[in-house]
């Protein structure tokens, strides 16, 4: 189902960027580091890149700008965010393909296998929507879809240590205190979602979304340690996996296939 074409799609995408930046104050730096790493690992002209759990295509937009020759596959389960991305970015002049798929299902790899191999798979602020078993499965699939020598990069909040000890809590509290001190005017993520839900033209998309997230939205978020991600990537067949950037819990894990 598609919303009517007269919503101000670019504006909704801009508002998404602004509220995400507020929620993740180092988001832009993280994107920059991820793109720099792609260039270092894959080379200055990557061919195919997968934007996993793409939302409205925040990563894809930056990748297309940075690497004018790259082809993008943007995958997500949320019909609202995907439609905003589709309407705001279109098909990127033939370089961007949108795929609606749920990473919790066993079938999502088949939806993009024909578009592989990828030089890199990138994901930001998203994998905490999956539990440990689902993440292990995603990394196994990525080890098949990313070419040897290619990269996987995941940026999100990752616990610095196991929750049983003090360090995880200390790092989280400190990060939250620092983030709360960053002056930021503007819309929160919750206010963005409230405004989007109130937009009459999005009604059919939200009806679809409520079916997708039938167990509740936001789904219970799972925060795992960065060590868990490193180990899961190594076990999935990546030759190396390490945290390459970190600000307390805010981290980028990078793996080389």
Ligand X SMILES: C[S@@+](CC[C@H](N)C(=O)[O-])C[C@H]1O[C@@H](n2cnc3c(N)ncnc32)[C@H](O)[C@@H]1O
Task: Note the residues at the interface with ligand X (CB under 6 A).
Answer: 20, 53-55, 58-59, 76-78, 81, 102-104, 124-126, 129
Nearest distance from C-beta of residue 147 to ligand X, angstroms = 22
Q: Are strands 146-157 and 118-124 parallel, antiparallel or unpaired?
A: parallel
For ligand X, the closer of residues 76 and 250 by Cβ is 76
Give the up-direction half-sphere exposure of residue 234: CA atoms within 13 A in the CB hemisphere: 10
Nearest distance from C-beta of residue 85 to ligand X, angstroms = 9
For ligand X, the closer of residues 111 and 234 by Cβ is 111
Nearest to 173 by CA among 227, 249, 252: 249
Is residue 153 within 8 A of residue 120, CB to CB? The reply is yes
Nearest distance from C-beta of residue 251 to ligand X, angstroms = 14
What CA–CA distance (Å, rounded) separates 207 from 216? 13
Nearest distance from C-beta of residue 183 to ligand X, angstroms = 22
Residue of closest CB approach to ligand X: 55
For ligand X, the closer of residues 78 and 249 by Cβ is 78
For ligand X, the closer of residues 14 and 45 by Cβ is 14
What CA–CA distance (Å, rounded) separates 192 from 6? 19
**Which tokens is 46 given?**
């990557």
């Amino acid at each position: 189902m598609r919303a009517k074409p007269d919503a101000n799609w670019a504006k909704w995408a801009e508002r998404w960027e602004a509220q995400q930046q507020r929620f993740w104050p180092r988001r832009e730096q993280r994107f920059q580091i991820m793109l720099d790493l792609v260039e270092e690992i894959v080379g200055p002209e990557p061919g195919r890149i997968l934007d996993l759990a793409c939302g409205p295509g925040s990563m894809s937009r930056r990748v297309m700008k940075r690497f004018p020759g790259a082809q993008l596959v943007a995958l997500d389960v949320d019909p609202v965010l995907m439609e905003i991305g589709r309407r705001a970015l279109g098909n990127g002049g033939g370089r961007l393909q949108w795929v609606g798929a749920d990473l919790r299902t066993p079938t999502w790899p088949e939806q993009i296998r024909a578009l592989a191999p990828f030089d890199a798979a990138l994901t930001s602020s998203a994998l905490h929507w999956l539990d440990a078993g689902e993440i292990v499965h995603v990394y196994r699939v990525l080890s098949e879809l990313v070419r040897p020598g290619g990269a996987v990069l995941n940026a999100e909040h990752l616990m610095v240590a196991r929750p049983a000890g003090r360090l995880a809590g200390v790092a989280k509290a400190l990060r939250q205190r620092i983030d709360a001190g960053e002056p930021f005017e503007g819309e929160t993520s919750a206010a963005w979602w409230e405004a989007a839900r109130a937009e009459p033209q999005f009604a059919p998309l939200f009806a679809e979304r409520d079916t997708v997230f039938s167990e509740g939205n936001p789904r219970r978020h799972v925060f795992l340690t960065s060590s868990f991600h490193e180990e899961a990537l190594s076990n999935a067949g990546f030759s190396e996996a390490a945290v390459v950037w970190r600000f307390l819990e805010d981290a980028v894990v990078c793996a080389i296939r």
